[in-house]
Amino acid sequence: MTNEVRVRYAPSPTGYLHIGNARTALFNYLFAKNAGGKMVVRIEDTDEKRNVKGGEQSQLDYLKWLGIEWDESPNLGGEYGPYRQMERLDIYKKYVDELMERGLAYKCYMTAEELEAEREAQMARGEAPKYSGAHRNLTQEQVAEFEAEGREPSIRLRVPENHTYTFNDIVRGDITFESSDFGDWVIVKKNGTPTYNFAVAIDDYLMKITHVLRGEEHISNTPKQMMVYEAFGWEAPKFGHMTLILNEDRKKLSKRDEHILQFISQYNDLGYKPEALFNFITLLGWSPVGEEEIFTQEQLIDIFDADRLSTSPAVFDAAKLKWMNNQYIKAADLDQVVELALPHLVKAGRVSEDMSEADRQWVKELIGLYQEQLNYGAEIVELTELFFKQEIQYDEAAMEVLQGEQVPEVLETFKKNLQDLEEFTPANIKAQVKAVQKETGHKGKKLFMPIRVATTGQTHGPELPDAIHLLGLETVTVRLDDVLSKLQA
């Protein structure tokens, strides 16, 4: 086996890139880059019935969006290709033929109905179901009879008897299986396609994979893959099985769980920053030294240590992801934030895609007003609603503010002062608020809150002079007049 660290991320194109797969890819990437090694992307597409159109491209596109760069793959090539399993069928056949010649594999002609009947009988006897070995030692006459019936055979690996399989898992330490736990298992299906555990073992060996990091659901696959390695006298890679990701109810994260967005594309669509998602997913089942939680990709590569992979399930905390994304948005250049948020205002019909330069500048300032509190791009639509409303519906808290006896005086004075402004700028607006304080004697909440509520309809929000400036003199005047007329009615 090579001294260079080589890992692989090997998705099936049966769906789009989701949180669990992204974490597997990310840990492999960090592990390889930390060790100065290589990452291979291999597409395991042998289950053609379940393959989804666009599934492979989605995997590659969103891995790249997250910031993961690989060294070999179907799109990049490499010296160990092809990198799609359905393009490697001739390679698998060579190794199947070798096992058959050596008597380590054999043809099984049992039908699906016969296998199901055998399984049900075992379960009725209270036994763990496994293949009985009924066709392990067929005579030539029996083979000829089955073939005359038109039966298509699968090919099964002869599982050694009384054999113990132990591997030292990177995450969990020593894990042991007994060969008696397994029946002879299928390595080639009746349609001639190799099964997952057989193809994976062949590919990992030929691609010189040194470490296999994957989810804990693959633990039970490991002894089968070790059987293939052992049959050919090959050294197995080092395995590491990451714990489950749980939802906030501590149940296994499921694609049917509608409380948590499952697919990386959904986070892109909502305007999350890929760097934030990269950071967040890295902390699902891995912890750095110390209390810090915000890291650049370069920092994570530098500090990643597989010994710190957790032995306890990771909990997906959606609120923490929002918080983390907000940290990245706050630290970003305003142009980057505009890039995240503007498409959502366009999609909502709030602004035109084909804007004038003046309108574009106004939108940029509007988005900048909310940069500090924006958790993800799509939130900008709700946050900026007050700038696109014709009429304001005042809630109970707002109405309570407007009932103050000083409110008419404050609003009338503020309105008059605004009309006298030569330039409608945030600085001048702020100065006029102070002028109202001098003229009326009202200050603090009695001054600011009526102005905020009357102009924005909200009891809290962004910097008031900035908000009033972006609303524009005409809109602000209409809103002040509307409130005053209601108070005087």
Please say if 255 is a catalytic residue: yes
* Distances 246 to 249, 315, 322 between C-alpha atoms, Å: 7, 5, 17
**What value, to the nearest 5°, has the Cα angle with vertex 305 and ends 300 and 306?**
125
Answer whether 169's CB lies under 8 Å from 214's CB: no
Q: How far apart are CA 153 and CA 151, in angstroms?
A: 6
**Using alpha carbons only, what angle is made at residue 74 by residues 73 and 79, rounded to the nearest 5 degrees?**
60
Distances (CA, A) of 123 to 27, 113, 186, 280, 435: 39, 15, 20, 44, 86
Beta-bridge partners for 240? 213
Contact 280, 320 (CB under 8 A): yes
Asked whether the CA dihedral 133, 136, 138, 144 is positive or negative, the reply is: positive
Alpha-helical (H) ranges within 249-296 are 264-270, 274-282
Q: How far apart are CA 368 and CA 335, in angstroms?
A: 9
Yes or no: say if 200 and 174 are a contact pair by the CB < 8 Å rule: no
The tokens for 125 are 């006897």
**Residue 464, φ and ψ in degrees, nearest 5:** -60, -50
Which residue among 64, 255, 320, 347 is the active-site one? 255
Are the beta carbons of 329 and 337 closer than 8 angstroms?
Answer: yes
Rg (CA), the chain: 32
Identify which of 47, 93, 39 has the alpha carbon closest to the alpha carbon of residue 202: 93
**Which residues lie below 8 Å from residue 359, measured CB to CB, with a gap of 6+?**
351, 352
3-state secondary structure of 99: helix
Q: What kind and span of H or E run contains 437? A: helix 426-440
Q: Which residues contact 466 (CB under 8 A, 6 or more apart)?
A: 365, 369, 426
Q: Which residues are catalytically annotated? A: 255
